[in-house]
Amino acid sequence: MKSPKGPAHLAKGGRSGLLFSLPYAIFFLAFVAYPLTFSLILVFHRWNIVTPMEWIGLKNFVRLVHDPLVLKAFVNTLVFLLLHIPLQIVVALSFALLLNTRVRFRGFFRALFFLPVVVSGVAVTILWQQLYSYDYGVLNTLLNTMGIPSVPWLVDAAWAMPSIAIMATWKNAGIYIILFLVGLQDIPTELYEAASLDGAGVKEQFLHITLPMLNPTILVIVVLSTIGGFSLFIEPYVLTGGGPMQSTLSGMLYIYNQAFYFNHMGYAATLGFVFALVILLVVLLQRKIIEREPA
């Protein structure tokens, strides 16, 4: 016969629950709540780490509005997104379609395409820095052997951001290939069989079955790529330092420079909150557009 669970037993269970949730509560307070609260305080202060904080009200926002580099960093980030997201979707979907067929060593290739994702971003960027080298890079060496002049991948403002977008696509494609593979395997095969019986070809099946059924996956990839694009930092920091002529100065790189190069902590916190708001608005807009039901 089971003993009744009285108040003492319930109190003991409640204490156990609190004990198990304590590590997460400590983590949340130390690494989420405190940094956010402190950053919000910094928005209204001038602080260079060395001297005490000075209350300046909304002056950081006034400076942000009149800072031409803020607009430059924002435009550069948008250019990166416009280059990177379509390229990421096309590359990842193409390889996912290939790996979804019965090719030999399919498991090996799936792991191989995912490998760059787990490699350190700095290591990957240094590797591509050597590939992009104007005088001794592998890419320009191959072009020269075919009689094509060297391309100024990282030293020309017109080429720098597209070069970073290509590198970022190579680095991140693996995770999106996996997401597309999951989406492709969730599509019922009966749809393709019925379409084939109705005379639909491969192109019609792709346009009217595969793409519509992958809509949720595409939404996830667009949102993740957008957040990652607005977080662009390692690539321009290592490859170009934001140059040439500020053409690869991203929002995160500009925030980093203001915080740790110029020690403008309050202004950097203000930039961070504004860029976070921009990311939220862009993601909400993307979700509204992509999830819109067809008429």
Instruction: Tell me the pTM.
Output: 0.84
User: 11: which 2 tokens?
Assistant: 């109190």
Phi, psi of 250 (to 5 degrees): -90, 170
What is the spatial distance between Cα 192 and Cα 107, in angstroms, rounded to a whole number? 24
pLDDT at 66: 93
Tell me the percentage of the chain whose pLDDT exceeds 90. 42
| Residue appearing with tokens 């629950």 | 17
- DSSP assignment string, 126-188: HHHHHHH-TTT-HHHHHHHHTTPPPP-TTTSHHHHHHHHHHHHHHHHHHHHHHHHHHHHHTS-
pLDDT band at 203 (very low <50, low <70, confident <90, very high): confident
pLDDT given for residue 294 in this prediction: 47
Domain 66-290 of CATH type 1.10.3720.10: yes
Burial string for 31-70 (b: 16+ CB within 10 Å, else e) reads eeeeeeeebeebbbbbbeeeeeeeebeeebeebbeeeeeb
Indicate if the pLDDT at residue 1 is higher than 90: no
Show me where the domains of the chain are located. 7-55, 66-290
Q: What's the whole-number average pLDDT of the chain?
A: 86
Q: What tens digit of pLDDT does each residue of 209-264 get?
A: 888 899 889 888 888 888 888 889 999 999 999 989 999 999 999 999 999 999 99
Is the pLDDT at 265 greater than 90? The verdict is yes
pLDDT of 295 higher than 50: no
> How many residues are present in the chain?
295
